[in-house]
Structure 1
Amino acid sequence: MQNRIFKNKKQFILVTFVLLLFVLIRAYEKCVFYDPFLSFFEGEFAHAKLPNVNKVKLFLSLGFRYYLNSILSILLLWIVFKDASVSKVSVFVYSIVGMLLMISFFFVLEFFAYEHKMILFYIRRFIIHPILLLVLLPAFFYQKKVKVL
């Protein structure tokens, strides 16, 4: 019993540490990442002109942020489930979704940005926040529960 409690404490501490890293990424986003859309989408942007962006720098910055969030998300899933198949599926899903999101973001930015600011906003939101984790975590819990039954 004591080993199980210690194991759960260790798991709780690791999960808390990873969540703290997510918070730090969010807290220092303006200092660490190049994203002129941070301030643009904070204000009234419905009729505003899009900011000038360095697309290469923006691509690298968004990609790096997505990569950091993906690594932390996969680490969190590993800590919670301790299952290699969960990690493999997660890496695959994050890779495919990341490519689709980045391609979609820059396609919309290049060709439809002024008309479809909200689409740009939501695609960017999926790139910079670990929203996919909120889908995968309950999905893997459900899968684990169904396997047990």
Structure 2
Amino acid sequence: MLQKLLNNKILIAQLFFLIGLLAMVRAFEHQLFYDPFLDYFKGESTLPYPQTDSLRLYLSLFLRYCLNTVISLVILYVVFKDVALVRFSAVLYGIFFVVLLVGFYGCLNYCDESCRMVLFYIRRFLIQPLFILLFLPGFYFQVQSQKK
């Protein structure tokens, strides 16, 4: 009983640490990443899109997505202790990245400012660890249904 309680404390501490890492990525986003859309979407969004350095923007999106993905995959491993599930999640993260990046590129280069909310939400999925909020309950229910 004491060992089980100790294991849960370690699991909870690991989760708090990993969630803290996700929060730090968010807290230091201005210092770590190039993203002129951070200020654009905080202000008056009827203005034209800001001028961007495309290479820096896409590299920054890639780096931030990778950081969030790695931390999210570690969270999934800590919770489920299943390497196959983490591999499957990594493939999904890769597919979602390609689809979202193509959508982001299309909205940024081929749509006018009337598509700004589409760009906002695509960018939100690229820079925020939202997929972990979908994967955790989904995989939990999957694991629970396999146990029955």
Is TM-score (shorter-chain normalized) higher than 0.5? Answer: yes
Offset at residue 61 of structure 1 (A): 0.1
Matched, 1:8 2:4: no
SS in structure 2 opposite 1:119? helix
What does 1:102-121 align with in structure 2 at a 5 Å threshold? 102-121=101-120
- Using the alignment, how far apart are the partners of 1:110 and 1:56 within structure 2? 14
Offset at residue 84 of structure 1 (A): 1.2
Offset at residue 49 of structure 1 (A): 1.3
SS in structure 1 opposite 2:69? helix
**TM-score, with normalisation over the residues of structure 2?**
0.97
- Using the alignment, how far apart are the partners of 2:87 and 2:27 within structure 1? 29
- Using the alignment, how far apart are the partners of 2:88 and 2:137 within structure 1? 14
Q: 2:37 maps to what in 1?
A: 37
- Using the alignment, how far apart are the partners of 2:60 and 2:71 within structure 1? 17
Q: 1:94 maps to what in 2?
A: 93
1:98-119 deviations in whole A, cap 9, x for unaligned? 1111111011101114231111
Aligned length: 148
1:9-43 deviations in whole A, cap 9, x for unaligned? 11111100000001101100011100000000001
Offset at residue 145 of structure 1 (A): 0.8
- Over 3 Å counting, the alpha-carbon distance change for 1:101 and 1:147 in structure 2 is same
SS in structure 1 opposite 2:132? helix
Q: Structure 1 stretches (4+) deviating beyond 3 angstroms? A: none
Indicate conservation of the 8 Å contact 1:34/1:58, yes or no.
yes
Indicate conservation of the 8 Å contact 1:69/1:130, yes or no.
yes
Matched, 1:27 2:4: no
- Using the alignment, how far apart are the partners of 1:49 and 1:90 within structure 2? 36
1:52-89 deviations in whole A, cap 9, x for unaligned? 00111000000100000000000000000001121011
